[in-house]
C-alpha cells in the first residue's frame, strides 16, 4: 500500500512493528516472528488474506463441528483433561456469557467481587440475582485468594435447605432461592490462585456448579513451576484466553466442560450458537489449534526455558531496595509469570512512563501503585535483560522516587463494606433508560446507582447498578480523581448517574 493511502490503524501497526518497543503485554505470541516461523505457526510467504475463508466444503462448521474443528476441540480437551472443550472466537467474554446463559431469569449466582466485567454483564443480561464473595485485599488493593471457608459460609446460608434426592449419585434438589452457580477468577490479573479443588468440593456439596475464569491461566498444568489448571481440579466449567499467555491470536479462547449432564452440555452449545459470530475466523481457529499443538510437541523445552528466564529475572531484581517484584501475602498458589512491579504508593504511573518512554518496554497495565508485566513462553532473554536493567537503573535514581501525590485509596471496597443492593442490576439498567439522571457526586449519597462505576485498570466494580451510593464510595471516587486514575461507567469528572427520578417517584408513592 502506498504511504499516502495507508490508513491510520494499519500505519500505526506497521510503525510499531518496526520499532524497538518490547511487549510485556498480551498476546502471548509477543510478536516473536522468529519463533512463530521456527515452530511452524506461520509461513513467511503467506499473508492473512491467503488463508481467510468461510465455511466451505471440507472445512467444517464451528456451530456444528463434525470434522477438523471437532478434532481440534477433542485434542484440546485431551490436552487439558476436560470431558469436552469448545473453541471461542469471541474471547473469554463469549464463553463466560454462554455459561451464565444456562441460568434462568431470577436465579441466584455467587460471584467473587473481583470478577471480570463480562461476568457482571452476564448477570445484568440474564436478570440474575448476584451474591458476592468479598474476598480480602492487601495494602496495594490487590485481591488475595478466595477462601473455601467464605464460599462455604455463603452457600450454607442460601443452599442449606437443598434436599439430596438420590444419595447414590449425589443429586440435589435445590430450593428456589438457592445459588445455582459459583464464579471465581483464578488466577487474578496479578497471578493469585485460589484453592479450586476444595472450593469445587464445597460447591458440589451444596448443589452448585462451579465456573472458573482461568483466562490468565491457559499455560497452567504444563510445568510444575506453574499452578495446576482448574480443569483437573473439579471445576465444572473452565475458561482460558489462549491469547493471554500462549502464542495464539487476540480474541481466541476455549471453554472446557467436566459435566456428565448431557442436557446442560446441549444447552451450552446452543448458547454458544446464539452469542458467537456466524462468521468465525479460520485464522483464529488455526491459531488456537497451532498454539495447543505447539504445547504438546515442544512444551517441555519451551516451559523449561521460560521458567529459567523467570527465575533469573527474580534473582537479579531480588536485591533492589526501592523497586520490588510483588508477592502476595495470603494466597493458595501463585503464577510467577506475572511480574507485578511496584516502587511504593502512587508509583504506578511513573513506573509505566519510565519503562515506556526511556526504555521502550510496554507493560500490560499501570495501576496507582504498580505495573504488571505479562510474560509467556515466547518471551526472549533480551526482553528480560532489558526489563531487569531498567529496574536496576531506576532503583538507583533518587529523583525517580520524589512523588508529590500520596493520596491513598482502594480500587474496590474492603471486606464487610460492600454496598447495599436495592435493585437487581437488570432492574436498575432497565429503569435507568427512563428514570436516570446525573447528580453532583456530593449530592448522590443514599441514591441508587444506575450504572457501573469502576477504576480502570483493574476494572473491578466499585459500584454495581442497583446499589446504594454511600459516603465511602464518594470518598473513594474523590481520592481516585486526585491520583489521575481513570473512572469508567456511570461516573465522570462532574457527577454520577443514578436512578434518582425513579427513587423520587417511589418516595412520593
Cα three-residue angle 470-467-275, rounded to 5 degrees: 145
Angle at 25 between CA 255 and CA 195, to 5 degrees: 45
What pLDDT sits at residue 168?
A: 44
Report the distance separating Cα 142 and Cα 412, nearest Å: 9
CATH number of the domain enclosing 379: 3.90.1150.150
For residue 175, the model assigns a pLDDT of: 56
| pTM greater than 0.85 (yes/no) | yes
Indicate if 430 and 380 belong to the same structural domain. no
Cell of 396: 538507583
**Does pLDDT of 178 surpass 60?**
yes
Distance CA 13, CA 196 (A): 40
pLDDT bin (cut points 50, 70, 90) of residue 162 is low
Sort 26 into a burial class: Cβ within 10 Å, 0-12 / 13-18 / 19+.
Answer: middle
Residues 433 and 499 in one domain: yes
Instruction: Give CA–CA dist 452/437, Å, rounded.
Output: 14
Up-side HSE of residue 356: CA atoms within 13 Å toward CB? 16
Count of domains observed in the chain: 2
Q: Cβ(222)–Cβ(295) under 8 Å?
A: yes
Minimum mean pLDDT range among 37-46, 146-155, 486-495: 486-495
Q: Which of 50-54, 225-229, 415-419 has the lowest mean pLDDT?
A: 415-419
CA quadruple 138, 140, 141, 143: dihedral sign: negative
Angstrom distance (rounded) from CA 254 to CA 89: 8
Q: How far apart are CA 504 and CA 287, in angstroms?
A: 54
Grid cell, residue 296, equals: 504438546
Q: Give the Cβ contact number of residue 112 at 10 Å.
A: 24
All 3 cell numbers of residue 270? Answer: 446452543
CA distance 477 to 112: 22
Nearest by Cα to 222 from 300, 157, 150: 300
pLDDT digits (tens, 9 = 90+) for 190-213: 999 999 999 999 999 999 999 999
Evaluate if residue 167 carries a pLDDT over 50: no
Q: Which of 28, 40, 33, 4 is nearest to 18 (CA)?
A: 33
pLDDT at 228: 98
Domain shared by 388 and 450, yes or no: no
CATH assignment at residue 494: 3.90.100.10
> How crowded is the C-beta side of 220, counted as CA atoms within 13 Å?
27
Contacts of 262 (CB under 8 A, 6+ apart): none
User: Do 308 and 392 lie in a common domain?
Assistant: yes
Cis ω on the peptide bond leading into residue 344 (within 30° of 0)? Answer: no
Distance CA 496, CA 62 (A): 43
Predicted pLDDT of residue 368: 84
Q: Let me know if residue 32 belongs to a domain.
A: no
Clarify whether residues 317 and 353 are in a common domain: yes
- Residue 368 is part of which domain span? 301-401
* Within a domain: 66: no
What's the CA gap between 352 and 57, in Å, rounded? 49
267 pLDDT higher than 80: yes
Amino acid at each position: 500500500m502506498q504511504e499516502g493511502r495507508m490508513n491510520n490503524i494499519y500505519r500505526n501497526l506497521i510503525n510499531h512493528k518496526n520499532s524497538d518497543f518490547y511487549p510485556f503485554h498480551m498476546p502471548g505470541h509477543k510478536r516473536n516472528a522468529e519463533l512463530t516461523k521456527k515452530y511452524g505457526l506461520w509461513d513467511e510467504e503467506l499473508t492473512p488474506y491467503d488463508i481467510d475463508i468461510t465455511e466451505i466444503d471440507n472445512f467444517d462448521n464451528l456451530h456444528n463441528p463434525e470434522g477438523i474443528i471437532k478434532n481440534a476441540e477433542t485434542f484440546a480437551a485431551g490436552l487439558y483433561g476436560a470431558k469436552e472443550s469448545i473453541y471461542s472466537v469471541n474471547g473469554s467474554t463469549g464463553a463466560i456469557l454462554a455459561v451464565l446463559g444456562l441460568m434462568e431469569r431470577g436465579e441466584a449466582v455467587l460471584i467473587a467481587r473481583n470478577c471480570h466485567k463480562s461476568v457482571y454483564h452476564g448477570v445484568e443480561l440474564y436478570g440474575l440475582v448476584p451474591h458476592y464473595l468479598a474476598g480480602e485485599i492487601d495494602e496495594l488493593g490487590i485481591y488475595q485468594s478466595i477462601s473455601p471457608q467464605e464460599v462455604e459460609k455463603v452457600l450454607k446460608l442460601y443452599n442449606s435447605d437443598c434436599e439430596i434426592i438420590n444419595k447414590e449419585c449425589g443429586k440435589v434438589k435445590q430450593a428456589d432461592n438457592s445459588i445455582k452457580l459459583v464464579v471465581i477468577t483464578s488466577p487474578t490479573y496479578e497471578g493469585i490462585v485460589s484453592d479450586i479443588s476444595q472450593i469445587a468440593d464445597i460447591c458440589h456439596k451444596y448443589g452448585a456448579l462451579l465456573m472458573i475464569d482461568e483466562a490468565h491461566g491457559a499455560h497452567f498444568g504444563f510445568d510444575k513451576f506453574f499452578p495446576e489448571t482448574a480443569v483437573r481440579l473439579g471445576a465444572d466449567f473452565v475458561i482460558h484466553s489462549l491469547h493471554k499467555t500462549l502464542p495464539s491470536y487476540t480474541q481466541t479462547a476455549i471453554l472446557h466442560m467436566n459435566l456428565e449432564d448431557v442436557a446442560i452440555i446441549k444447552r451450552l452449545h446452543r448458547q454458544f450458537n446464539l452469542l458467537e459470530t456466524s462468521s468465525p475466523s479460520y485464522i483464529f481457529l488455526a491459531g488456537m489449534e497451532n498454539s495447543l499443538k505447539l504445547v504438546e510437541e515442544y512444551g517441555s523445552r519451551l516451559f523449561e526455558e521460560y521458567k529459567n528466564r523467570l527465575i533469573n529475572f527474580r534473582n537479579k531484581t531480588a536485591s533492589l531496595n526501592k523497586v520490588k517484584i510483588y508477592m502476595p501475602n495470603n494466597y493458595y498458589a501463585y503464577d510467577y509469570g506475572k511480574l507485578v512491579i511496584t516502587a511504593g504508593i502512587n508509583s504506578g504511573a511513573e513506573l509505566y512512563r519510565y519503562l515506556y518512554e526511556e526504555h521502550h518496554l510496554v507493560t500490560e497495565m499501570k495501576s496507582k501503585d504498580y505495573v504488571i508485566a505479562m510474560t509467556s513462553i515466547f518471551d526472549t532473554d533480551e526482553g528480560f535483560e532489558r526489563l531487569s536493567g531498567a529496574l536496576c537503573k531506576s532503583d538507583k535514581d533518587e529523583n525517580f522516587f520524589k512523588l508529590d501525590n500520596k493520596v491513598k485509596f482502594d480500587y474496590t471496597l474492603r471486606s464487610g463494606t460492600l454496598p447495599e443492593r436495592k435493585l437487581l442490576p437488570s432492574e436498575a439498567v432497565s429503569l435507568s433508560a427512563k428514570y436516570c439522571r446525573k447528580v453532583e457526586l456530593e449530592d448522590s449519597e443514599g441514591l441508587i446507582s444506575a450504572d457501573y462505576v469502576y477504576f480502570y485498570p483493574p476494572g473491578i466494580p466499585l459500584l454495581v447498578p442497583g446499589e446504594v451510593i454511600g459516603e465511602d464510595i464518594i470518598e473513594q471516587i474523590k481520592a481516585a480523581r486526585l491520583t489521575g486514575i481513570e473512572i469508567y461507567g456511570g461516573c465522570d469528572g462532574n457527577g454520577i448517574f443514578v436512578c434518582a427520578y425513579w427513587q423520587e417517584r417511589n418516595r412520593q408513592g
